[in-house]
C-alpha cells in the first residue's frame, strides 16, 4: 500500500453558534490547509469531536470534505489532497456503515480508534474490533488510531501489529499518538517497515525524524500552525538541523499556550477564529472558551508573535 509522506491534518468540525454543523466553511478550510503544505485530512476524529456527532452528520461532513478536496486546484494541491475518514464509534455496526459510506464516496482511507466504552483490554479484542470495521471498506487502507489517553487502551502496539498481520487484508498501519518513541520505532521497524507508522504528536516530530524512519504524520495543531510543522520536516530533509530545532521549539511554544485553555480541541478550535475561519463552539461535554478566556488566549499568542508565524 502507498505510505503517506508529509503531514495530514486532523480538522475541527465547524459549527454554527447553535451547535449545528457548518459545512459552508469547509472549502475555504481545505484550501488554507493545502496552501500550508498539508497533504490531506483525517476527519471526524478526536479533534473533530467525532464521537459527539450523529451518524448522519459524520456522513455529511465526509461528503463535504470530499467535494472540497476534489475542487482544489493543481497549483494549491499539486499532489492531490487525501481524505481519510475516522469511523470509530462505540457501535461496531455503525462504524461498518461509516466505512462503507467512506468507500462509496471515494475517500482515500478510513481509520478508527479503540472505543471509550467498553474499554478494550486485550489484543484480540482490538484486532476483532478493527477487523469488523475494516471489512466495511475492503478497497481502502485502514489505519488504527492509537490514542490510549482518550480510551484507556494501553496495549502494546508491536504485539498488535504481529496479531493483525495477515488477518486484515487492507490494514495499512497506525496513527501513533502516544509518548513512547521507543515503541513507535519498534513498530516502524517491524518487518523492515511493512506498515505505515504515522506520527501523531506534534510536539515530537523532530525526534521521530531523527530516529531515521518517520515519513508521515497526522496532527491537530497543524490546523493553525501547519506552516511551522511542515517546515520541521522540510528543514530536516534539507539537512538544516538548527532550523528544524527552532521550528520544533516554536511548535512547543504554541502547544504550551493551548494547554492553558483545555488543549487543542477547545483552545485550538478557538484559535481558528483569529485566522478568519470561525469554527464555532464545541459540543457538550466540552467546556467552551469564554469571552474572557478568548482575550487571554489572544494575548498569549501575541506574546509569541503567533500571527506572523502561523498559517497563510
**Which residues are marked as active site?**
145, 175
Pick from 36, 45, 31, 29: which is nearest to 7 by CA?
A: 36
Q: Where are the alpha helices (DSSP H) in 105-219?
A: 123-134, 148-151, 157-164, 181-189, 205-210
Cα dihedral sign for 266, 269, 273, 279?
negative
CA distances from 59 to 24, 90, 104, 113 (A): 15, 17, 11, 18
Asked whether the beta carbons of 4 and 42 are under 8 A apart, the reply is no
Question: What grid cell was written down for 103?
Answer: 468507500
Q: Quick one: angle between helices 55-70 and 92-104, nearest 10?
A: 20
Amino acid at each position: 500500500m502507498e505510505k503517506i509522506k508529509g503531514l495530514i491534518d486532523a480538522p475541527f468540525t465547524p459549527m454554527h453558534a447553535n451547535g449545528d454543523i457548518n459545512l459552508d466553511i469547509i472549502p475555504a478550510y481545505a484550501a488554507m490547509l493545502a496552501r500550508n503544505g498539508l497533504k490531506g485530512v483525517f476527519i471526524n476524529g478526536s479533534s473533530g469531536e467525532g464521537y459527539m456527532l450523529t451518524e448522519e452528520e459524520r456522513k455529511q461532513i465526509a461528503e463535504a470534505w470530499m467535494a472540497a478536496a476534489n475542487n482544489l486546484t493543481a497549483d494549491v494541491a499539486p499532489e492531490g489532497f487525501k481524505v481519510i475518514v475516522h469511523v470509530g464509534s462505540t457501535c461496531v455496526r455503525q462504524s461498518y456503515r461509516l466505512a462503507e459510506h467512506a468507500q462509496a464516496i471515494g475517500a482515500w482511507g478510513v481509520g478508527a480508534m479503540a472505543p471509550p466504552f467498553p474499554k478494550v483490554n486485550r489484543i484480540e479484542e482490538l484486532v476483532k474490533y478493527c477487523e469488523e470495521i475494516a471489512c466495511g471498506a475492503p478497497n481502502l487502507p485502514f489505519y488504527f488510531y492509537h490514542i490510549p489517553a482518550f480510551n484507556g487502551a494501553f496495549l502494546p502496539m508491536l504485539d498488535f501489529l504481529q496479531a493483525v498481520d495477515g488477518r486484515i487484508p487492507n490494514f495499512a498501519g497506525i496513527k501513533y499518538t502516544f509518548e513512547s518513541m521507543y515503541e513507535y520505532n519498534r513498530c516502524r521497524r517491524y518487518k523492515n517497515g511493512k506498515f505505515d507508522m504515522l506520527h501523531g504528536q506534534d510536539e515530537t516530530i523532530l525526534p521521530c525524524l531523527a530516529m531515521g524512519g518517520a515519513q508521515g504524520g497526522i496532527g491537530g495543531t497543524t490546523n493553525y500552525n501547519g506552516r511551522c510543522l511542515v517546515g520541521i520536516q522540510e528543514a530536516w530533509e534539507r539537512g538544516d538541523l538548527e532550523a528544524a530545532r527552532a521550528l520544533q521549539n516554536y511548535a512547543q511554544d504554541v502547544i504550551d499556550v493551548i494547554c492553558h485553555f483545555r488543549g487543542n480541541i477547545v483552545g485550538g478550535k478557538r484559535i481558528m477564529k483569529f485566522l478568519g475561519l470561525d469554527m464555532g463552539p464545541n459540543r457538550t461535554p466540552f467546556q467552551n472558551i469564554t469571552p474572557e478566556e478568548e482575550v487571554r488566549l489572544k494575548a498569549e499568542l501575541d506574546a509569541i508573535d503567533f500571527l506572523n508565524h502561523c498559517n497563510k
